[in-house]
Amino acid sequence: MFFLQSLLSGILTGGVYALAGIGMSLVFGVMNISNFAHGDLMMLGMYLAYFAFTLLHIDPYLSLLLIIPTAFLFGFILEKVFIHRIINHLHQNQILLTIGLGLIMSNTALLAFTSDPKILTTSYSSSAVHILGGISLSVPLLLSFVITCGIIGILFIFLSKTTTGLALWATSQNREAAQLMGINVAKMSAIAFGLGTSLAATAGALIAPTYYIHPMVGHTFLLKAFTICVLGGLGSVVGAGVGGVVIGVVESMSSTYLSSDWKDVVVFIIFLAVLLLRPQGLFGKKGEQ
């Protein structure tokens, strides 16, 4: 029973992680940049959901309709102003620039919203559904999972059926070749970063009702998102989806059977093990490391 319980809640949380991981993987695939500001973008999504709820009285799940376009625009502008200037730079400079942007976001949030953790409490925050007798599933997590699946579905249709989506795939497969085929890769980069940002913010908004909202919360999620991407293969969208669920389950299992203090350590050990044994990840192409 314990096993099933923690498996299911792991899968539910993992869905939201997958969303964050897919955003990061998309940016990596199209732009070949590790975005260290990803966790802080998630943090901004959490605050957006919080303020939409407390100030405008919009349900956190409904506020996504507001958050997704706002975050897309924010990411698009970030790319146009900062990120595009370092696309061909050394990896370490890209990492440092995004770290710098992340520090600016988290510390501005710290100045604006103070370090007191905020809690988003909806009428259904602590309610749970019971299935199969003893297994209880938290309603907000369940809702988040359903919405996540919807968003991932829409994303896949976008990536595989629309012209822009196909151009994104092409750019991620081979930037030079895509450019030669007449694809505007600079625009694709900005769109990819916008999409990555809105996926991060969405994941943040979805997790907001079940998590403490805090300016420094991005740090935790950043490292999780990286683990997910590396597990799935950096740049692989499908891989990130699967990786997210795996990490969610691993976390939930290690809290149940080990201790919740050590769950992050288990995640990082898996991360290193993947790097050691299969650096291209579960779904990555060989020779990419």
Partner 1 sequence: MKQIILIAIIAGIAAVLPLVTGESPYFTGVMISVLMMAALSSAWNILGGYAGQYSFGHAAYFGAGAYTTMILITQFNLNPLLSMAAGIIIACLIALITGSIVFRLRGHYFGLASIAVAEIVRLSALNFEFTGGAQGILLSEVSLWGLDLNSKNPFYYGMLLVLVVTLGITLYLRTSKTGFYLQAIREDQDAAASLGINLSFYKNKALLISASLTSLLGSLYAVYIRFIDTSAVLDLRLSIEIILTAIIGGVGTLWGPVLGAVLLVPLAEVLRSNVIGDALVKQGLVSETSGLGIFLKENLAHAHVLVYGIITVVCILYLPKGILGLFRRVK
Return residues touching partner 1 (CB under 8 A): 28, 34, 82, 85-86, 89, 91-93, 95-97, 99-104, 107-108, 110-111, 114-115, 219, 223, 226-227, 230, 234, 259, 261-262, 264-265, 268-269, 271-272, 275-276, 279, 289
Question: Within 10 A of 59 (CB to CB), how many other CB atoms are there?
Answer: 15
Question: Which residue lies nearer to partner 1 by CB, 35 or 252?
Answer: 35
What residue has token string 């919807």? Answer: 150
Q: How far is the CB of 231 from partner 1 (least distance, A)?
A: 12
Question: Which residue lies nearer to partner 1 by CB, 110 or 181?
Answer: 110
Residue 163: exposure state from Cβ atoms within 10 A (0-12, 13-18, ≥19): exposed
Question: Which residue lies nearer to partner 1 by CB, 65 or 104?
Answer: 104
Q: How far is the CB of 22 from partner 1 (least distance, A)?
A: 17
Helix (H), strand (E) at residue 137 = strand 135-138
Query: In angstroms, rounded to a whole number, what is the distance separating the alpha carbons of residues 194 and 274?
Result: 29
Question: Which residue lies nearer to partner 1 by CB, 115 or 162?
Answer: 115
Q: How far is the CB of 285 from partner 1 (least distance, A)?
A: 14
Question: Within 10 A of 202 (CB to CB), how many other CB atoms are there?
Answer: 26
Q: How far is the CB of 153 from partner 1 (least distance, A)?
A: 29
Structure-block tokens of residue 220: 């935790």
Question: Which residue lies nearer to partner 1 by CB, 107 or 174?
Answer: 107
Q: How far is the CB of 236 from partner 1 (least distance, A)?
A: 14
Mark 164-198 as b/e (b = at least 16 C-beta within 10 Å).
Answer: ebebbbbbbeebeebeeeebebeebbbbbbbbbbb
Q: How far is the CB of 99 from partner 1 (least distance, A)?
A: 6
Contacts 24+ apart (CB under 8 A), 111-115: 113/47, 113/215, 115/214, 115/215, 115/216
Question: Which residue lies nearer to partner 1 by CB, 10 or 233?
Answer: 233
Q: How far is the CB of 122 from partner 1 (least distance, A)?
A: 30
Question: Which residue lies nearer to partner 1 by CB, 85 or 154?
Answer: 85
**Residue 138 DSSP symbol:** E
Distance of CA 83 to the CA centre of its chain: 18
Helix (H), strand (E) at residue 168 = helix 163-173
